[in-house]
Amino acid sequence: MRAPYATPADPYGSAIDLDRLVARLKATPAIGFFTKLALRSDVLDLRRRIEHARAAGERGRIAHTLRREFDGLVLKILALLDEDPALARDIYRAREAIWHSLVADARSGG
């Protein structure tokens, strides 16, 4: 299980449990099964691109292009969560921790 992250934008340092957010996203009835599969594929593709950019030493690409792709993916997920506003709010608040987790996973190869 991943350790909770404190979001950098959160001056109070409240922890975000990323595994719990993923479980809630999987369980929400606001998004259909096939849409969840497509989102999972999008996340895995982005993660692979981050890993590839890191291996190639493309820090600028990670910081700019891939971060924009991540932000777009988060917006897509938030739009799909119209019927689950609590989860949408929590994902929005955790977006920095999620990004840092993706980058850290790419760094560690996991």
* 34 has pLDDT over 70: yes
3-state DSSP assignment of residue 6: strand
Rama region for 14: left / alpha / beta (φ>0; ψ in -120 to 50; rest): beta
* 7 has pLDDT over 60: no
Give the span between the Cα atoms of 96 and 98, in whole angstroms.
5
Q: Do 88 and 28 meet the contact criterion of CB atoms below 8 Å apart?
A: no
Give the span between the Cα atoms of 74 and 58, in whole angstroms.
22
pLDDT tens-place string over residues 38-95: 999 999 999 999 999 999 998 888 889 999 999 999 999 999 999 999 999 999 999 9
According to the model, what pLDDT value does residue 13 have? Answer: 39
pTM here is 0.79
* 16 has pLDDT over 60: yes
* 1 has pLDDT over 60: no
According to the model, what pLDDT value does residue 60 have? Answer: 86
